[in-house]
Structure 1
Amino acid sequence: MKNALGPRLTDSELFRLHEGRWRWVEEADQPVVTLPTEYPDSYRVPRHHHSRSQLLHALTGVVLVTTINGRWMVPPDHAMWIPAGTDHSVEMLGDVAMRSVYVVPDALSGLPESLRVVGVTPLMRSLIIESEKLPQGVELEGRAALIMQLLLHEVPHLPERPLALPLPTDPRLAALCRNFVAAPSPHATIDEWARQAGLSRRSFTRLFHRQTGLTLSTWRQQACLFAALPRLAEGEPITRVALDLGYDSVPAFTTMFKRMLGAAPRAYMNATR
């Protein structure tokens, strides 16, 4: 089942198209199906959920997934695991070639139980590409069946990446986080945020960690990555991105980037193209 979503379709036409695709996924007989889709820049899939878990893989482009618990960035050669029943919306940052693998929750023991961004290994990428060529929603045999079985068994082994940006529910912290996402800076401090929230440093630290699972320093670095990755994916110079985000130097930005993603910006982006 393939289609290309063009920018000339109306919102109602796109919504009907998505309803048809989701219905097809729900009615498929096989435990694992793959659905390829091409999306234009800035297209937004409205909030929805499905009875299957979804491995959302961006072959090209960057995807932003939003739930009530936060945001997750999915750059090229990464994927997002979305457990069954999770309400989520999807926004395209640039033209996106997406490949989604839909899995019934009990298809295999050991499948992830929570939202996460994972790195897509060369093996998994090849399996996804091969799987989209196979008949979908029908009984498979031989090589085709083995490809889908191996694809399913590889899911629990994909390495998790720190590309989540959980959002606190406390109104004071949520306002601070929204302001930061709008204008990221590496110079925000715990004392400054605690003062703006009307909390002591100790109370702020405990509350922020309880609501996000992260320290402010780690959350801030991940927010800066959220701002940087789409721009780097579009080919903007590293120097401009680093300085726009408030870093004093490119080496300082590169150090943060490498610590979070395991590679310097240029090497990382080259590897995802």
Structure 2
Amino acid sequence: MRNVSVADLDDEPVDVLPIGTDYPPDHLLARHAHRRAQLLYGASGVMLVETDEGSWTVPTDRAVLIPAGVPHEVRMLDVATWSLYIEPDAVPWWPTSCTVVEVGALLREVLRAANALEVPYDEAGRDGALIRLALHELQRVAPIPLTVSLPPVGVLRDLCRAYLAAPDVHVTNADWARAAAVSERTLDRRFRAATGVGPAGWRVRARLLSSLPALRRASVTDVAGRLGYATPAAFTAAFSKAFGAPPSRFR
């Protein structure tokens, strides 16, 4: 089904609700949560998912697995989605935090077909077999580390969210320490305690994540220059080290 609310179908007596949605450009889905677990697949565009725990960037032809009951917001950048909303008891293996995953050719076509189903569908027939195949394939997907941690509350989280919205290679620890009204040493200690990494390293990873939407429309050379890398090779090396694949895999 397409462009219907999961709330309108949540009481249907099926374990899996397939719902596709077309979003206007730069659409923000405000903070919300679902009773069911959600597979959120981007058939086009890029999705930016945020929870209390962190921020995930989801390029085209990837998906994010969202646990049941986890509050999240999503920025949709020219996105059409194919979602599955799944009863938690049907997927005891579901991750406990958001996870971005690769979607292979078979799962992609299964999701395409599932999102054409009408609800309710025949669980004992071909439609049910299609849904069961989707769940089998989901147990085989490979995670991709397209995420950064976020401090839970306060000025550090505000600084991180502002940086994700507008990454700037010229921002320094001194800038953040002034904004937080603390010394650089205190900033570093508190930031590491909240996220597990230092603020400078966090900003590098955030800038690399910001390249994913940009790579849809610009060359690797252009994106490397915008992010402050001296050469495309230096950008590609940093990107590959952070995410396990070169930027060309995400264009």
TM-score range, shorter chain: 0.7 to 0.9
Instruction: Give the deviation of 1:137 after TM superposition.
Output: 2.7
Instruction: Give the deviation of 1:99 after TM superposition.
Output: 0.5
Partner letter of residue 133 of structure 1?
Answer: A
- Structure-2 change in CA distance of 1:170 and 1:126 (3 Å): same
Report SS of the residue matched to 1:157: coil
Match of 1:28 among 12, 16, 30: 12
Q: How many residues align?
A: 250
**In the alignment, which residue of structure 1 is the partner of 2:142?**
159
Match of 1:228 among 211, 222, 247: 211
- Structure-2 change in CA distance of 1:239 and 1:145 (3 Å): same
Report SS of the residue matched to 1:263: coil
**In the alignment, which residue of structure 1 is the partner of 2:75?**
91
How many angstroms apart in 1 are the aligned matches of 2:161 and 2:7? 34
* 1:78 and 1:119 in contact (8 A); partners too: yes
**In the alignment, which residue of structure 1 is the partner of 2:46?**
62
Instruction: Give the deviation of 1:102 after TM superposition.
Output: 0.6
How many angstroms apart in 2 are the aligned matches of 1:57 and 1:27? 22
Report SS of the residue matched to 1:134: coil
Match of 2:23 among 39, 50, 57: 39
Instruction: Give the deviation of 1:195 after TM superposition.
Output: 7.8
Instruction: Give the deviation of 1:153 after TM superposition.
Output: 2.6
* 2:173 and 2:184 in contact (8 A); partners too: no
Instruction: Give the deviation of 1:127 after TM superposition.
Output: 1.7
How many angstroms apart in 2 are the aligned matches of 1:30 and 1:182? 38
**In the alignment, which residue of structure 1 is the partner of 2:222?**
240
**In the alignment, which residue of structure 2 is the partner of 1:250?**
232
Percent identity of equivalent pairs: 38
**In the alignment, which residue of structure 1 is the partner of 2:164?**
181
Match of 2:195 among 208, 212, 216: 212
- Structure-2 change in CA distance of 1:251 and 1:21 (3 Å): same
**In the alignment, which residue of structure 2 is the partner of 1:145?**
128
Match of 1:105 among 88, 91, 111: 88
- Structure-2 change in CA distance of 1:195 and 1:75 (3 Å): same
Aligned-residue Cα RMSD (Å) equals 2.6
Partner letter of residue 90 of structure 2?
Answer: A
* 1:30 and 1:139 in contact (8 A); partners too: no
Report SS of the residue matched to 1:255: helix
How many angstroms apart in 2 are the aligned matches of 1:93 and 1:226? 14
Deviations 1:203-257 (A, max 9, x none): 6555323322445465333311332111111x11222221111222221111111
- TM-score norm. by structure 1 comes to 0.79
* 1:58 and 1:99 in contact (8 A); partners too: yes
Instruction: Give the deviation of 1:133 after TM superposition.
Output: 2.8
Partner letter of residue 116 of structure 1?
Answer: T
1:136 and 2:119 correspond: yes
Deviations 1:50-104 (A, max 9, x none): 210111000110111222333221111111111111222222112x121011101
* 1:108 and 1:153 in contact (8 A); partners too: no
- Structure-2 change in CA distance of 1:80 and 1:133 (3 Å): same
Task: Provide structure 2 residue ranges, at least 5 long, that are not aligned to the other structure.
Answer: none
How many angstroms apart in 2 are the aligned matches of 1:182 and 1:42? 12
Report SS of the residue matched to 2:42: strand
- Structure-2 change in CA distance of 1:23 and 1:181 (3 Å): closer
Deviations 1:12-48 (A, max 9, x none): xxxxxxxx61322312211012111111211222222
Report SS of the residue matched to 2:56: strand
